[in-house]
Amino acid sequence: MFRNVAELVEKAESQGISIAEVMIRQEMEFGELSREAVVARMERNLDVMEQAVDKGLAGVHSLSGLTGGDAVLMQQYIAKGNTLSGPFILDAVSKAVATNEVNAAMGMICATPTAGSAGVVPGTLFAVRETLKPTREQMVNFLFTAGAFGFVIANNASVSGAAGGCQAEVGSATGMAAAALVELAGGTPEQSAHGMAIALKNLLGLVCDPVAGLVEVPCVKRNAMGAAVAMVAADMSLAGIKSRIPADEVIEAMYRIGQGMPSALRETARGGLAATPTGKKLAEQIFGEKQ
């Protein structure tokens, strides 16, 4: 069993296999399952992700009314043809938003690694599907690669906003997506690790400050930005740019920052955006009286 990114990369390189393959073999061993069973379970997750993206792109709204409809707006904007960031990144953005809008509406999603951060990985995957044209097997492998890096982060730091802030949720998801994008685009395991490190480094310190305690503001737009960062970090790594700080040390830094964060900024809705005048007013409007 690999315990950190260095071991994960070493396993893949010494055996001449992909990160996804390392993860699949470990899962077979851990669960005493056949390859077919492990792959089939991930295929179900992929199906749920695709359905959530489709549902969000068709337009959903949360009960509170705080979020919804933005995935549609972004698609309409892309269709006009003259965007600043370019259609690929914005497509990932819209699909990440779509997933989180469905989540906020209490629809069905696949936690990746959590529900609040469920948009980043599928957002980037379904966006590059148009350009990289992966087979279904490659799409499933994308999720195993993302999962392998998430596995390391969860075991050495945290993927919980309450424990480590949003850096542990959207930050982890962004690192996972970047690593998987690199592999899907033909990068090496080492390049995946650099992509993960570059992405996560740039979301360190991100606080969890949900307005009214809802997984809506700023969560949905943070997934959008996570998807954009993941795409850029993957491109940087594929260009040969390296993270000066190794991935495992970035994860360790994330853990320590999370521990040092005041509880007001760890999913208690008592600090950050939740504590702004508008944030408080929205909470009162939604729940009738002061919580």
Partner 1 sequence: MKYNSVFDIIGPIMVGPSSSHTAGAAIIGRLARSVFGREPKRADIHLYGSFAETYRGHATDVAIVGGLLDFDTNDERIPNSLQLAKEAGLIVEFHKEEAVPEHPNTTKIRLEDERGSLEVIGVSIGGGKVEITELNGFKLRLNGMYPAILVLHNDRYGVISGVTNILTHHHVNIGHMEVSRKEKGQMALMVIEVDQNLEDAILDEIRKLDHVTQVTRMSP
- What is the DSSP secondary structure assignment for residue 119, as one 8-state letter? T
Name which of 107 and 246 has its Cβ closer to partner 1.
107
Reference 159, options 167, 168, 151; nearest CA is 168
Do the beta carbons of residue 196 and residue 149 sit within 8 Å? yes
Please tell me whether residue 48 binds partner 1 under the rule CB under 8 A: yes
Element (H, E) at 13: helix 5-15
Among 111, 276, 278, 285, binds partner 1 (CB under 8 A): 111
Site for partner 1 (CB under 8 A): which residue of 9, 23, 89, 229? 23
Q: Is 281 in the site for partner 1 (CB under 8 A)?
A: no
Spatial distance between the Cα atoms of 51 and 47, rounded to a whole number of angstroms: 6
**Which spans in 165-276 are helix H?**
166, 172-184, 189-201, 219-238, 247-260
Using the rule CB under 8 A, is 19 a contact of partner 1? no
Figure out which of the listed residues 45, 75, 83, 138 binds partner 1, where binding follows CB under 8 A. Answer: 45
265: Cβ–Cβ under 8 A, 6 or more apart, which residues? 165, 207, 208, 209, 271, 272
Angle at 219 between CA 217 and CA 225, to 5 degrees: 120
Instruction: Check if the beta carbon of residue 69 is closer than 8 Å to that of residue 61.
Output: yes
- Rounded to a whole number of angstroms, the distance between the first and last alpha carbons of the chain is 45
Counting contacts by CB under 8 A, is residue 58 touching partner 1? no
Residues 112-171 that bind partner 1 (CB under 8 A): 112-116, 118, 121, 143-144, 146-148, 150-151, 154-155, 158-163, 168
Q: Which is nearer to partner 1, 115 or 245 (CB)?
A: 115
Tell me how far, at minimum, the Cβ of 240 lies from partner 1, in Å.
28
Q: Is 105 one of the binding residues for partner 1 (CB under 8 A)? A: yes
User: Residue numbers of the site for partner 1 (CB under 8 A)?
Assistant: 1, 3, 23, 26-27, 30-31, 41-42, 44-45, 48, 102-116, 118, 121, 143-144, 146-148, 150-151, 154-155, 158-163, 168, 176, 210, 212-216, 263, 266-270, 286-287, 291
